[in-house]
């Protein structure tokens, strides 16, 4: 195991009652890497994301995140907002915007969430509060520029196209100043040209901002062109890992995806 | 003909005439066994005075009302289309908005001047007292509950508890309870202001911290229980609160700084100004709060708690904060009531009271400060008017029939409230349309 891992997941098992959602999953992500998790529906990809962000609490195993000051943190048992503060940002499968707010406000909420609360300051609008507002505004504009949504800043987020919503979610995630960005099916529901732009954007996030990327995606073309390494999940367990070339040639992966039913039933009986 | 019927303006006109015909029969004379149709005939044919101007048949009057309502309603809708276009336009260009700012400030200034001169315009002692006890205090309570219900989206059915805590804290500090006041000194009610606000806020935090993990209905039930507990405590802890007989007299506030001496005494007008000052302070503070980081965090939590947490917002912390702010506002309202009305009784702090405040918030428009203030003024003035000059056959307890009917009508025709906040209106429209019909939402053409 190299020292430069940003995520180190060891033997994580997550159960809901009798249903095993993640079974002994181990995964390492290097700092600055674009890593993808693929697998058929119900393989446990989103459960893995939820475990990594503090939404679910796995019963067994350990998740270590190495944050800003190179101090390893154990994610299990941490609340979701603390995980965010530590430097893990995420997007959601069906994008979850604050739909009644504008694109600008959405990003700004991300940009200012890690400041102190300061109710009294907010009620009298003191100099400290005003400075904070200005800084958040500047940061928001910069991020909207970065994802290419500056012209849509004052649009209600619910009225943005799917592609724009994905970008907005990425901007909101980046606003929290993360070390790693978790993208849950960023290309779902987008058209081919939007897909291409998203691929570019994701690469740009890593290259220009140095944010590691962990993504779940069904679109094989996108995954294979973007990811440097992949993990394949099936029935809650890791069945393969490696570079795109290795995965493409992997028997178990082809089985899981193409569903060689004959082979499977044979194995079970 | 069929096309005409498809037009919703036409259909609306007929529904209104129908509804008012029913109203005409309901309010008309009753029939008798000898002539069963007399009531029905009389409802439409009987002569009646038209606003005291001239007499005419009843049906003319009701058709006229239907036409006026139809005109206002349909006209509003047609004009609304234009207004929405303007709003969409200004949203794209924030500079446009700032050009309209002087208008808004002018309006606010005019309203403030009106509020300042109101006691000189209205000299009827009944209304002067009502302005303080029933309107200003309720405005304060409604803006406080608005922070909890409107901003943070938490249903609080026990708001009265904090009002009671504020009132009893005042009684305690001024030495009007059987319990000894702090340090055995009988303070002025002014000292009670920070004490009552502090105690109410503490009560909000103590109640909120463990229970705000609950969602929706569960929270409503817990707060309901809390409201009842406080009332029962006030009623039964005879040695501490004075029980059902109420407290000893609470002194009126007075300023005594050498040459400056002022006693608020019994008259309502000085209390009106005292309350007005604080209402303005609270309104300004809450408006700034709404447009601050805190207000945005509340909106984020209200809309999608999971997403809010994923960007680092701690929902529990912000919810407790909303609860504490709402509670301290109610606590302050309690100080005003206690110091003005001299005695306080547990029987004034009922569930009915909590619901009453909630009605003001819902009627005015949850989350909209201006709406809630307007809602409180309209409903409280209306109910005071009914009390002051009751129509024939009106009993005070009938009030809730009218309030209930008003709420039902509101929920059907304008669920967002009289003067909704922009964010809330969008949320409700989005919820009604479902996430898939965004264009309809934005053009306002929701069915």
Tens of pLDDT, residues B12-51? 888 888 888 877 777 767 667 777 777 777 777 777 766 6
**What pLDDT, on a 0 to 100 scale, did the predictor assign at position B85?**
53
CB B296 within 8 A of CB A104: no
**What pLDDT, on a 0 to 100 scale, did the predictor assign at position B433?**
64
The CA–CA distances, whole Å, from B137 to A66, B134, B293 equal 54, 6, 28
Could you give the maximum distance between any two Cα atoms of chain B, in Å? 83
**What pLDDT, on a 0 to 100 scale, did the predictor assign at position B9?**
80
Tell me the torsion sign for CA atoms A252, A254, A256, A260.
negative
Which residues does chain B have within 8 Å of residue A102's beta carbon, measured at their own beta carbons?
A: 91
- Please judge whether B294 and A122 are an interchain contact, meaning their C-beta atoms are less than 8 angstroms apart: yes
CB B160 within 8 A of CB B231: yes
Q: Which residue has the higher pLDDT, A125 or A17?
A: A17
Which residues does chain A have within 8 Å of residue B205's beta carbon, measured at their own beta carbons?
A: none
CB A46 within 8 A of CB A214: no
Residue A159 touches partner B, C-beta closer than 8 Å:
yes
DSSP bridge pairs for A240: A232
**Has residue A268 got a pLDDT over 50?**
no
Q: Which helix (H) or strand (E) holds A182?
A: strand A180-184
Q: Which of A37, A91, A10 is nearest to A214 (CA)?
A: A37
CB B362 within 8 A of CB B417: yes
Strands, DSSP E only, in chain A? 5-16, 19-30, 34-38, 60-66, 72-74, 88-90, 180-184, 212-216, 229-234, 237-242
Tell me the torsion sign for CA atoms A221, A227, A228, A234.
negative
Supply B411's token pair.
Answer: 């929920």
- Please judge whether B308 and A132 are an interchain contact, meaning their C-beta atoms are less than 8 angstroms apart: no
CB atoms within 10 A of CB A214: 25
**What pLDDT, on a 0 to 100 scale, did the predictor assign at position B442?**
38
**Has residue A229 got a pLDDT over 60?**
yes
Tens of pLDDT, residues B212-243? 887 778 888 999 999 999 999 988 888 778 77
Residue B398 touches partner A, C-beta closer than 8 Å:
no
Residue A134 touches partner B, C-beta closer than 8 Å:
no
Which residues does chain A have within 8 Å of residue B293's beta carbon, measured at their own beta carbons?
A: 112, 115, 117-118, 122, 129, 132-133, 136
DSSP bridge pairs for A242: A230
Residue B442 touches partner A, C-beta closer than 8 Å:
yes
Which residues does chain A have within 8 Å of residue B443's beta carbon, measured at their own beta carbons?
A: none
Intervals of chain B under pLDDT 50: 86-87, 89-98, 435-447
Determine the distance in angstroms separating the CA of A149 from the nearest CA of chain B, rounded to an integer: 13
**Has residue A123 got a pLDDT over 50?**
yes
Chain centroid to CA B25:
33
Give the residue from chain A lying closest to B317, CA to CA. A117
- Plot region of B47 (φ>0 → left; ψ -120 to 50 → alpha; else → beta): beta
CB A175 within 8 A of CB A104: no
Residue A125 touches partner B, C-beta closer than 8 Å:
yes
- Plot region of B365 (φ>0 → left; ψ -120 to 50 → alpha; else → beta): left
Give the list of residues 6+ apart from residue B407 with CB closer than 8 angstroms, or none. B359, B362, B363
Which residues does chain A have within 8 Å of residue B304's beta carbon, measured at their own beta carbons?
A: 96-98
**What pLDDT, on a 0 to 100 scale, did the predictor assign at position B94?**
44
Residue B289 touches partner A, C-beta closer than 8 Å:
yes
- Please judge whether A156 and B442 are an interchain contact, meaning their C-beta atoms are less than 8 angstroms apart: yes
Q: Which residue has the higher pLDDT, A42 or B261?
A: A42
The CA–CA distances, whole Å, from A32 to A224, A238, A244 equal 17, 22, 17
DSSP bridge pairs for A36: A215, A230
Choose, out of A99, A127, A133, A178, the residue to mutate when testing the contact with B (most B CBs < 10 Å).
A99
Residue A128 touches partner B, C-beta closer than 8 Å:
no
Q: Considering only A166-170, A227-231, B55-59, B181-185, which range has the smallest mean pLDDT?
A: B181-185
Residue B309 touches partner A, C-beta closer than 8 Å:
yes
Tokens 């302070």 sit at which residue? B281
Q: How confident is the model at residue A3 (pLDDT cuts 50, 70, 90)?
A: low
**What pLDDT, on a 0 to 100 scale, did the predictor assign at position B164?**
94
Residue B325 touches partner A, C-beta closer than 8 Å:
yes
Residue B87 touches partner A, C-beta closer than 8 Å:
no
CB B428 within 8 A of CB B444: no
Which residues does chain A have within 8 Å of residue B307's beta carbon, measured at their own beta carbons?
A: 92, 96-98
**What pLDDT, on a 0 to 100 scale, did the predictor assign at position B258?**
65
Decide the pairing of beta strands A5-16 and A60-66: antiparallel
Supply A120's token pair.
Answer: 């009294």
Give the residue from chain A lying closest to B307, CA to CA. A96
Tens of pLDDT, residues A79-88? 999 999 999 9
Which residues does chain A have within 8 Å of residue B317's beta carbon, measured at their own beta carbons?
A: 117
Strands, DSSP E only, in B268-381? none
Residue A51 touches partner B, C-beta closer than 8 Å:
no
Compute the average pLDDT of residues A228-233: 92
**Percent of chain A predicted with pLDDT > 70:** 94
Residue B438 touches partner A, C-beta closer than 8 Å:
yes
Residue B121 touches partner A, C-beta closer than 8 Å:
no
Supply B418's token pair.
Answer: 């009289």
A 171-210 → B contacts, CB under 8 A: 172-173, 175-176
Point out the residue among A79, A119, A124 whose CB comes nearest to the CB of B294. A119
């Amino acid at each position: 195991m190299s020292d430069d891992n940003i995520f180190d997941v060891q033997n994580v098992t997550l159960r809901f009652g009798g249903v095993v959602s993640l079974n002994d999953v181990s995964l390492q992500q290097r700092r600055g890497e674009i890593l993808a998790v693929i697998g058929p529906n119900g393989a446990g990809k989103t459960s893995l994301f939820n475990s990594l962000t503090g939404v679910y609490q796995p019963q067994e195993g350990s998740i270590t995140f190495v944050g800003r000051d190179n101090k390893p943190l154990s994610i299990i048992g941490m609340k979701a907002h603390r995980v965010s503060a530590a430097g893990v940002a995420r997007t959601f499968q069906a994008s979850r915007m604050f739909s009644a707010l504008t694109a600008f406000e959405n990003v700004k909420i991300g940009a200012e969430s890690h400041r102190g609360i300061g109710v009294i300051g907010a009620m009298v609008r003191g100099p400290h509060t005003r400075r904070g507002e200005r800084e958040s505004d500047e940061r928001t504009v910069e991020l909207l520029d970065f994802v290419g949504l500056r012209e849509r800043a004052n649009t209600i987020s619910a009225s943005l196209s799917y592609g724009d919503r994905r970008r907005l979610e990425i901007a909101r995630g980046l606003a929290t100043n993360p070390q790693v960005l978790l993208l849950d099916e960023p290309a779902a529901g987008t058209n081919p040209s939007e897909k291409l732009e998203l691929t570019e954007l994701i690469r740009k996030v890593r290259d220009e901002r140095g944010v590691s990327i962990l993504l779940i995606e069904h679109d094989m073309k996108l995954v294979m062109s973007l990811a440097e390494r992949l993990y394949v999940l099936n029935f809650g367990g890791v069945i393969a890992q490696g570079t795109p070339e290795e995965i493409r040639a992997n028997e178990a992966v082809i089985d899981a995806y193409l569903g060689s039913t004959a082979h499977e039933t044979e194995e079970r009986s | 003909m069929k096309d005409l019927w498809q037009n919703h303006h036409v259909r609306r006109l007929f529904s209104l005439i129908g509804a008012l015909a029913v109203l005409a029969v309901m309010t008309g004379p009753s029939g008798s066994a000898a002539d069963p149709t007399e009531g029905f005939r009389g409802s439409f044919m009987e002569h009646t005075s038209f606003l005291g101007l001239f007499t005419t048949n009843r049906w003319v009057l009701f058709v006229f009302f239907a036409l006026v309502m139809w005109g206002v309603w349909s006209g509003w809708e047609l004009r609304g289309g234009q207004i929405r276009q303007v709003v969409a336009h200004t949203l794209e260009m924030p500079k446009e908005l700032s050009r309209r700012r002087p208008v808004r400030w002018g309006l606010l200034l005019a309203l403030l001047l009106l509020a300042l001169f109101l006691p000189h315009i209205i000299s009827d002692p009944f209304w002067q007292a009502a302005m303080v006890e029933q309107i200003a205090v309720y405005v304060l309570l409604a803006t406080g509950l608005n922070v909890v219900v409107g901003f943070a989206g938490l249903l609080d059915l026990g708001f009265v508890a904090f009002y009671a805590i504020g009132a009893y804290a005042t009684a305690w500090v001024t030495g009007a309870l059987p319990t000894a006041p702090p340090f055995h000194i009988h303070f002025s009610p002014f000292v009670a202001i920070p004490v009552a606000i502090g105690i109410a806020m503490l009560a909000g935090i103590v109640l909120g911290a463990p229970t705000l993990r609950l969602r929706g209905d569960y929270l409503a039930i817990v707060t309901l229980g809390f409201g009842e507990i406080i009332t029962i405590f006030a009623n039964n802890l005879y040695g501490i609160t004075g029980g059902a007989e109420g407290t000893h007299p609470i002194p009126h506030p007075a300023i005594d700084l050498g040459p400056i001496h002022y006693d608020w005494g019994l008259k309502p007008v000085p209390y009106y100004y005292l309350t007005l000052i604080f209402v303005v302070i609270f309104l300004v503070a809450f408006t700034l709060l709404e447009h601050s980081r805190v207000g945005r965090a509340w909106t984020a939590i209200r809309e999608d708690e999971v997403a809010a947490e994923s960007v680092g917002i701690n929902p529990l912390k912000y919810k407790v904060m909303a609860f504490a702010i709402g509670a301290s506002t109610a606590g302050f309202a309690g100080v005003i009531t206690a110091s003005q009305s001299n005695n306080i009784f547990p029987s004034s702090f009922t569930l009915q009271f909590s619901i009453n405040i909630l009605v003001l918030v819902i009627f005015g428009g949850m989350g909209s400060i201006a709406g809630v203030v307007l809602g409180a003024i309209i409903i409280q003035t209306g109910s005071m008017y009914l009390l002051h000059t009751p129509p024939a056959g009106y009993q005070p307890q009938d009030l809730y029939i009218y309030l209930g009917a008003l709420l039902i009508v509101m929920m059907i025709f304008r669920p967002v409230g009289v003067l909704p906040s922009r964010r809330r209106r969008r949320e409700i429209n989005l919820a009604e349309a479902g996430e898939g019909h965004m264009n309809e939402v934005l053009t306002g053409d929701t069915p």
